Structure 1
Amino acid sequence: MAGSPSRSSALRALRPAAFGVDPSGERMARIRRSPHFRDGVFQNPGGPSRTRPSGSARELAKVYFDKDRRARRAPLGTVPVHATTLADLARPPADGLRLTWMGHSAVLAEIDGHRVLFDPVWGERCSPFPFVGPKRLHPAPLPLAALGPVDVVVISHDHYDHLDMPTIKALADTDTLFAVPLGVGGHLEHWGVAPSRLRELDWHESTEVGGLTLTATPARHFCGRGLRNTQHTLWASWVVAGERHRVHHSGDTGYFDGFKDIGAAHGPFDVTMIQIGAYSDFWPDIHMTPEEGMRAHVDLQGGRAGHGLMLPIHWATFNLAPHPWADPGEGTVAAARAAGARVALPRPGEPFEPASGAVPSRPWWRGVAQAPAGGWPVQEALTGAAIGVAGTAAAVAQDDTESDSSGGASEGAEGARARPAG
């Protein structure tokens, strides 16, 4: 019928706003020019990866709906959230670096006088619909409006548990800038963010925000928000470097050797924020286990496990995988002890300064998690001091090895003195 909308136009009108938009125009032209875009899609480093569950749907359903396993995938009680206050965040960090894990992959990093907010998700569900989809297991530590001014919001990719439309719409009414991977900017513009406030980067591209340099670095994952996943939006990890400090946020990723290259080009880091949850044998290429996350942390530190601090992210807030709720935390502690690395274990909303002697290091989740059959490991073995001692021993051992291989014990000792502690 003349004048009636086309079928495609009608379908677009019914498309939920949370789906965002597919890249088009100059944005799509830039995507096609990317060296990482081939055969009509963005390519992962290290070759093809499985982005859909391996094995049969029947096997996956059997694991997901097993009664005993389902009970362990959520906390037994109320998750102990730190009630973050304006007073917590009003005082500048003594050494210039403070991090506040807001749950899942959301982290407020205060670095050298600037405030960076990674992957903010304040919504109740990570879903395009308010009535279905993974629901929060704990509330946001504080209202988004109480967070205070943010210089730049950094998005790792466009999955719902990292890019939340209600949160972006709220931030669109502020003066913050947004740093996003190539193609993701279309979603933000669709939700009211002015193009002038976007910094849209391909891997290995950088942008300056105040005194910070933000660099999009590779990750091994995938993208998509709608029913038709075009793979036309990039995913990324991020490096943020200030005058005195530098941090790395992994986004979502499978383990790959590229972490060594990122560490060589941009590290070592004061803090790495590493994805260690929502892993499964059904999708081993796109999410890391805690052990793989620790390998990534060590790679990013140039092989020196004792350097810097690892903050485990992408866990405890949403139920996104078959593993027990507490396993990412327990696995991270075990991996840290094995590697001799320092980890921070804050409750959601608990600020900490990596250079202070008060980095959270207690396994807080045990009070609300179902204990394993053999019980929890000995509490005293998991303190920050014990992990720190292990890290020091590992660093000394590595220094000794390097000293022996270079033929000079005094040179190795001098290197150890010159290297920043932790």
Structure 2
Amino acid sequence: MIIVVSLMLTIAIFVGCYMQKPQFGKLPSGKRLERIEKSPNYHNGRFHNRVEKPTITEGYSMAGEIYKTIFGKKTRLKPVDSLPSKKINLNKLDRNENVLVWFGHSSVFIQIGGKRLLVDPVFSGKASPLPWGIKAYKGSDVYEMEDIPEIDYLLISHDHYDHLDYETVLALKNKIKYVVCGLGVGAHFEDWGYAPNQILEKDWYDKVDVADGFIIHTETSQHDSGRGFKRGRSLWLSFLIESPTLKIYVSGDGGYDQRFKEIGKKYGPINWAIMENGQYNKAWQSVHNLSEQVDKANLELNAQNLLTVHHSKFTLGRHPWDEPLRQISLLSENKPYRLATPMIGELVNLDNPDQKFEKWWEKIN
């Protein structure tokens, strides 16, 4: 018993010391916490979803899911081959062009209305605070932090490691004009050396006035947050980017709920939807969409074009790595929206409805 207790105490001390490293960020305090406590979405010491749902779906258990993750059958969780990709010089893009580049997982560069935005960038090659943690697939990291131009607005949907990457935002600090994030997430950025006036922390149903006719709306999601053992201390968001000529919805992470129908009615028609589709499981569909829910949500958004993300870079779920693309390709057939499936790094022209995309994943083992 003494040996067991000593071992557990040693592990606890090691974990506690390791979690003091800067990549874990900071919890909100002081005036930031006072502002958070005034939010209608914050009570009992944390943020809550509009409709509370258990993370694990009824009929499943956390213990069972952990067992399946460790001992269950694993089929094609990551590609054997290197992923195909393209690389363009982002610095030489004409500012007047409305374009998009997907970097794998949920990292997206968007240039519209003369502004440059970067969503949930992860360029460190991993989705974990641990050096031996979840690694990017071969071929998925063709862009490096040095390739990113000056960014007007960095959009962070929530503070999980596969969306808010310490090494990336630290390296990009001098290229970022403003950060748009949920309440509480700014504590991480301030701890990492960002100036308070750079950090625009927003609640649901808030907005950032970018320019005449250009607004970034912060909308809801059905998810969670946290970089340590304390959950829900910062807010998770989706975004509706409204430029003078285009409307782009960025879902962030989150399970299916009524927000898609509400957002479609509020802002529709929407030109482009960038939707999470990957790292899902029926056991945790309350916080991550299944592919059939992505299709349904996009129809409710009344989005003309769909680009799915949260796949093709990291293995965080138990499905085959290419299943999200295969599923949404089938589901989108004969639907009133167009599915865009660019390779990582491929330039997407947001104003060209005739641009063609390959089913590039079909050639990869």
Matching of residue 61 in structure 1 with residue 64 in structure 2: no
Matching of residue 220 in structure 1 with residue 222 in structure 2: yes
Out of 47, 53, 58, the residue aligned to residue 52 of structure 2 is 47
Structure 1: runs of 5 or more not aligned = 1-7, 302-306, 370-422
- Equivalent residues in 2 for 1:17-28, closer than 5 Å: 17-28=22-33
- Equivalent residues in 2 for 1:149-188, closer than 5 Å: 149-188=150-189
Question: Counterpart of 1:341?
Answer: 337
Out of 36, 46, 56, the residue aligned to residue 31 of structure 1 is 36
Matching of residue 80 in structure 1 with residue 76 in structure 2: no
Count of aligned positions: 350
Question: Counterpart of 1:351?
Answer: 347
Q: TM-score, normalised by structure 1?
A: 0.78
C-alpha distance in 1 between matches for 2:275 and 2:236: 15
Q: Structure 2: which amino acid aligns with 1:27? A: R
C-alpha distance in 2 between matches for 1:347 and 1:361: 8
Q: Deviations over 1:319-339 (max 9, x none)?
A: 010001110001111111153
Structure 2: runs of 5 or more not aligned = 1-12
Distance 1:279 1:14, change over 3 A: closer
* CA drift at 1:173: 1.8
- Equivalent residues in 2 for 1:239-278, closer than 5 Å: 239-278=240-279
Q: Secondary structure at the match of 2:135?
A: coil
Q: Structure 2: which amino acid aligns with 1:189? A: E
Q: Structure 2: which amino acid aligns with 1:292? A: Q
Identity value in percent = 31
Contact 1:278/1:323 (CA < 8 Å) preserved in 2? yes
Distance 1:13 1:335, change over 3 A: closer
Question: Counterpart of 1:114?
Answer: 115
Q: Structure 2: which amino acid aligns with 1:62? A: K
Question: Counterpart of 2:321?
Answer: 325
C-alpha distance in 1 between matches for 2:24 and 2:47: 19
* CA drift at 1:52: 9.1
- Equivalent residues in 2 for 1:357-376, closer than 5 Å: 357-369=353-365
Which protein has the bigger helix share? 1
Q: Deviations over 1:362-398 (max 9, x none)?
A: 21011113xxxxxxxxxxxxxxxxxxxxxxxxxxxxx
What root-mean-square deviation, in Å, do the aligned CA atoms of Structure 1 and Structure 2 show?
2.3
Which protein has the bigger strand share? 2
Mean Cα deviation higher: 332-341 or 97-106? 332-341
Contact 1:23/1:186 (CA < 8 Å) preserved in 2? yes
C-alpha distance in 2 between matches for 1:155 and 1:145: 20
Larger Rg: 1
Q: Secondary structure at the match of 1:352?
A: strand
Q: Deviations over 1:290-330 (max 9, x none)?
A: 111111111111xxxxx520000110100010001110001
Contact 1:218/1:237 (CA < 8 Å) preserved in 2? yes
Distance 1:174 1:261, change over 3 A: same
C-alpha distance in 1 between matches for 2:289 and 2:111: 26
Question: Counterpart of 2:192?
Answer: 191
Q: Structure 2: which amino acid aligns with 1:134? A: I
* CA drift at 1:83: 2.1
C-alpha distance in 2 between matches for 1:180 and 1:92: 24
